[in-house]
Structure 1
Amino acid sequence: MPLRFVSATCLFLVTMVSISMPPAVAQPTDQGVTAGSQFYEVRTYDLGDNGDAASVDDYLANALLPALNRLGIETVGAFAPNAEDETGANAIFVVIPYDSPNQIASVRDSLANDAQYQAAAKDYLDRGPQNSPYKRIRSELLSSMACWPQLKVADGSLENSERVYELRLYESANERIGDLKVEMFDNGEVPIFLDCGITPIFVGQCVLGPQMPNLTYLTLYPSESARQDAWKAFRVHPDWKVLSKNPKYAGTVSRIDKFVLSPKPYSQM
């Protein structure tokens, strides 16, 4: 089932309001950085039945990603569901890391005044309502978590043409339970991931999005078979058996959205 994220336009409007609020106190980690030190926009270009994936790819590869890179956002991911994905999603997923909500708001203004971006995006932006290349753009905004406070791309991973990714969104029934799921990750779930060959790219708690409260993460695998083997190992890992049986964390996930993804040729993740 497609991710039901809030529209990118609403994201910017609400972000402008949110940055005026007192910031939450970040929790220190042993990695020298803090939870909340990065923000991630997970943007979904929902192509619908009549979308033009080639047009969106051209825009992303030749206009948006280069413009974001010029603004200092150097690692932008772009993905599509691969053959093993069972959701039936007809979409392109984009992950954009930011240093602060202020940067999110400033990017849109910078793009509007970037002549190089405007020229590269002209064909895409000139399309009207009768030939839009997508059905809708939807986004969610995440704040990094203590267990994985900064986005990481494993060295040499981009050279592996067989690599696959998995995007998961875990919904919780209410805010208290959602915070418990975050605590569960921070208290040991990620080390189990790493021990089983599940390599995080990012892990974040949702700040804005219609599936709140939730957390979302993106993980990397050398191949599809490696992904399947990694999750088999995770399910029987002795530390997971202990953590998952802790009554404090019972019922922390009420729904899971899972997408198995392949990187676009121009992806920087």
Structure 2
Amino acid sequence: MKRWMTFGWIAALCLAACSQPAMSSADEYYEIRTIVLGEKGDAAAIDQYLEKALIPALERQNIGPIGVFSAAPNSDTKPGSIFVVIPYAELAQMESSREALAKDSEYLNAAADYLGRDSKTAPYSRISSELLTAMDCWPKTVVPEGTLENEERVYELRLYESANERLGDLKVEMFNQGEVPIFLDSGVQPIFIGQALVGPQTPSLTYLTVYKNDAARLKAWDAFRAHPDWKVLSKNPRFGGTVSRIDKFVLSAKPYSQM
């Protein structure tokens, strides 16, 4: 049986990243698309488009892994949206990817039904997007070994909004100075962590975490809140009031998701 990535290995990766000087550009960028279905949404059509057209086309561009998620059953997360996570190696790749899609005949053929719809038959009501830049404490996407084979896995997507840019940068600093190692020690396993460059809720940061099952998710957050290092870090007056709003989504992966 494949095992999950060990805490020690990931902690070493995180600590090594946090010890490096700030770079002039991020290691990765993340586009987070929230596809809101609305009353007349067609989730099956969107799944068809993502699985058969968009993801294979992005793979041909060496972009991935791509994550696709919806609300987990029996969770407090309201159903009706599909979340798509697309990592880019550099910012210019976003523009070049769009240009490549427009010239990709295999993509255009597979996406014909989706792209051929008009305003009366659109499969969703709107798409809301944000663009993130990877943070020093977690500069690369990590999908732990064995994750995709575990059908019971659940995810949390969290967005931490701040009242202004100064406080938003302080929350990023708080992550970079020690919050992520506490995550790992508690069983909160990040896949990506990024600060928003563009989005409807800037200034903010967003991160995605994965757990073996929902019981493990609840246990991990209990352990995080009780962790002695978190008790110290959370009481540091420098970081007081850095978060004004938290949006939390408990998610399940689509069968074709690569995260």
Please confirm whether the aligned pair reaches a TM-score higher than 0.5, indicating the same fold.
Answer: yes
1:155-193 Cα offsets, whole Å, 9 max, x none, are 111100000110000000000000000000001000000
When structure 1 is superposed on structure 2, of 83-92 and 40-49 the one drifting more is 83-92
Q: Is the Cα–Cα contact under 8 Å of residues 18 and 176 in structure 2 kept in the other structure? A: no
* Aligned equivalent of 2:195: 205
2:244, 2:205 → 1: CA distance?
Answer: 12
Q: Is the Cα–Cα contact under 8 Å of residues 204 and 216 in structure 1 kept in the other structure? A: yes
Q: Is the Cα–Cα contact under 8 Å of residues 187 and 220 in structure 2 kept in the other structure? A: yes
Task: Give 1:36's match in structure 2, choosing from 14, 26, 37.
Answer: 26
Following superposition, which runs of at least 4 residues in structure 1 exceed 3 angstroms of deviation? 28-35
* 1:49 CA displacement: 1.5
* Aligned equivalent of 1:260: 250
Unpaired segments ≥5 residues, structure 1: 1-27
SS in 2 for 1:157: coil
SS in 2 for 1:200: strand
**Over aligned residues, Cα RMSD in angstroms?**
1.5
Report the number of matched residues: 242
1:29, 1:189 → 2: CA distance?
Answer: 11
Amino acid at match of 2:89: D
Does structure 1 residue 76 correspond to structure 2 residue 66?
Answer: yes
* Aligned equivalent of 1:172: 162
2:247, 2:51 → 1: CA distance?
Answer: 27
1:78, 1:72 → 2: CA distance?
Answer: 17
2:142, 2:53 → 1: CA distance?
Answer: 24
2:249, 2:43 → 1: CA distance?
Answer: 18
Aligned pair in 2 of structure 1 residues 261, 176: CA closer, same or farther (>3 Å)? same
2:166, 2:215 → 1: CA distance?
Answer: 36
SS in 2 for 1:74: coil
1:33, 1:241 → 2: CA distance?
Answer: 27
SS in 2 for 1:210: coil
- The 5 A counterparts of 1:37-52 are 37-52=27-42
1:58-80 Cα offsets, whole Å, 9 max, x none, are 00000000000000013100000
Does structure 1 residue 115 correspond to structure 2 residue 105?
Answer: yes
SS in 1 for 2:190: strand
Identity of aligned residues (%): 60
* 1:218 CA displacement: 0.2
* 1:84 CA displacement: 3.6
1:215-257 Cα offsets, whole Å, 9 max, x none, are 0000010001100110111111111000001111110000001
1:32, 1:262 → 2: CA distance?
Answer: 36
Does structure 1 residue 94 correspond to structure 2 residue 88?
Answer: no
Unpaired segments ≥5 residues, structure 2: 1-16
* Aligned equivalent of 2:4: none
